Chains A and B, each alone.
Chain A
């Protein structure tokens, strides 16, 4: 009976790829964001962060 819970995914061809894929995608997006942030120039960052303060109300 336990196999209803445990192993029924084994019947899909290549199911191992799913978790691997998810990690790969996640890390590449994360890496991209990280690289950008590290390389972004300071003046642009300052300019962006001051946008909300750019009007009185």
Chain B
């Protein structure tokens, strides 16, 4: 057999690494702005595209898909070539993949702040971008599988299994969750509604954590930890168990995001059970990673790469213990909707993903630039800043979560809520929010040090764009091993491995979701639940555009301390026309599920809402809700007809031909909603200028977006009380 000469493509690795660092910084800075807005809401006063509800999706998407995404690609392109001793399958595909992904990120960075959003967390991007993501993802998979197929190493190392399974699962998740009906170029509605939409969304959301933030990184861990430590992984056997158990269990655990909601009990329990089971493989993996360093701890002391890895793996261990605990119903009842969860995810994102990525950057960049890291000392500083900042971030959030939980459920002796005014529970948290922002800033200072250090490193070296290598080709004839085992069989067959992983995760997904889809025809729907009126529908779309769901839930759980505060707990049948669902996952502000119920505790008249949306702190002293002056703009209802038609296509029972009457109905209702505003025109928080315009008839309140939002808020939760609310 002839030794073959070839070269590794380091340029594509460099590109992805640079993109990782750059988008990481952007994502962190946007996060910092969000963090500051939480205690100083006037920071970006009046600038629509910088308001919290629009920036938070940008922050999450940037960190997950831009920072972590590019890091995954960098790590896969770097390690895969070396593990299979082959250059990437196609340089052209590599380039399309790289630039395609960056283009998607730019599109996201433009559309999200402008309010183009599907309203589903971590999947906010609108349909044209969704399609682009699917295409670029396929390019990535094609390039990866092509490389694996032309490999010069017979067996696939465990890291590659993680890559394959991650790729396949993310493809399935993204496609299933993004099925939406376009209304216009940048507006679509989720095909699923209510409970089903929630289930699909959290099946996706949970498994995005699993198969985007976790399994690719475990693959990277199984490559880079042994590599950096110069010794093989502690137990290869354990890694096999780790792999199969993890990809199999993860896919089931999604419903733990929906405990105590209107999701069927059965699905909730399934989510809990599988979440608890997840501890075993997760900790198996963590121990496998840490024990790889046994006997090499002296190395860890001097090597910043290993230090970052140890913190990353430790953080992984903590989050994967905490996660299952938060899936226990009793603990979930306390922590859901609170800042505890924000602490939890940042332990994962900053600790596990962040530190592992920093380790990779410090490990790979000097190597491909044929030089030494500019300053070990500076990297050490980065390490300590990163570690300290995670603590500074997490502790205030956990603290805030505990305070919220305690204040939300505290009762007086006479059975009334101690903190009847939700605002009191918000103002308590300001110091913790401020401390969290300090934690985030420290993290960013560390990242800036890294930028400088890596910049100097790159300057002092020269990129080895094509790294020479040689290896023997794979023998064509597959000599059958005597006692060949099924698993050994599959280690040589990447395509079969791909298919098997898909089957494994599809089984989980299907069994979890089929019952809820079947239920649609069987559910005793609440007959009084009606489709939204055209004006309410427009208002709902504005609610989605502004990202109100980032701070408000619409899902009252069946606890006395919730029903006492918000009203009757939410029923599955109330959401059947909600495309998409807007249950939310965080209560920075109060739940709004029963906001419009006239006899309810939360009910507020139209002019209150008007003033509150314009200047929240004018009616709620110390509120941290953003001001929405731009809601005084004229409502653009050009697509209303299309929206009604789209809704009907998805089964919302608007009568045939209603789309042509919709805008007339909308105007009528708008007049009605605006009437109390005109009646109290002197009490509105509008400028003199606006006042004059209204007086002169140049501006009509009934034509503003404000009126649509108010109409929607006044509709919320009213359907199950037909008599109490209908005049």
Contact = CB atoms under 8 A, between A and B. Distances in A.
Contacts of B237: 37-38, 40, 45
Contact of A49 (B233, B244, B467, B571): B233
A36 B486 contact: yes
Contact of B264 (A9, A21, A33, A52): A9
A29 B245 CA distance: 8
A50 B245 contact: no
Given A40-B487, A48-B158, A6 B265 contact: yes
A4 B240 CA distance: 43
A22 B346 CA distance: 31
Interface stretch (B325-333, B515-523, B620-628): B515-523
A8 B232 contact: no
B469 A55 contact: yes
Contacts of B159: 52
A52 B572 contact: no
Contacts of A19: 266, 270
Interface string A34-55: 1011111100111111111111
B458 to A, nearest CB: 17
Given A9-B266, A22-B511, A29 B158 contact: no
Contacts of A51: 83, 153, 155, 157
Given A48-B157, A52-B79, A11 B519 contact: yes
Contacts of A25: 507, 511
Interface string A1-36: 101111011011001001101100110011011101
Given A4-B572, A36-B486, A29 B244 contact: yes
A49 to B, nearest CB: 4
Interface stretch (B114-122, B222-230, B354-362, B580-588): B222-230
Interface in B238-253: 238, 240-241, 243-245, 248-249, 252
A15 B155 CA distance: 42
Given A9-B515, A52-B157, A52-B159, A22 B508 contact: yes
A51 B5 CA distance: 19
B680 to A, nearest CB: 37
Contacts of A34: 241
Contacts of B491: 48
Interface string B141-169: 00000000000010101110000000000
B522 A8 contact: yes
B467 A8 contact: no
Given A5-B265, A30-B244, A48-B157, A36 B485 contact: yes
Interface string B542-571: 000000000000000010000000000001
A4 B526 CA distance: 9
A32 B248 CA distance: 13
Interface of A: 1, 3-6, 8-9, 11-12, 15, 18-19, 21-22, 25-26, 29-30, 32-34, 36-41, 44-55, 57
17 contacts: A4-B524, A4-B526, A15-B266, A21-B511, A25-B511, A26-B248, A29-B244, A30-B244, A30-B248, A36-B485, A37-B240, A47-B155, A48-B491, A51-B83, A51-B155, A53-B232, A55-B469
What 10 pairs across the A-B complex have the smallest Cβ distances? A49-B232, A49-B236, A33-B244, A11-B522, A36-B487, A51-B157, A37-B237, A4-B571, A45-B236, A52-B226
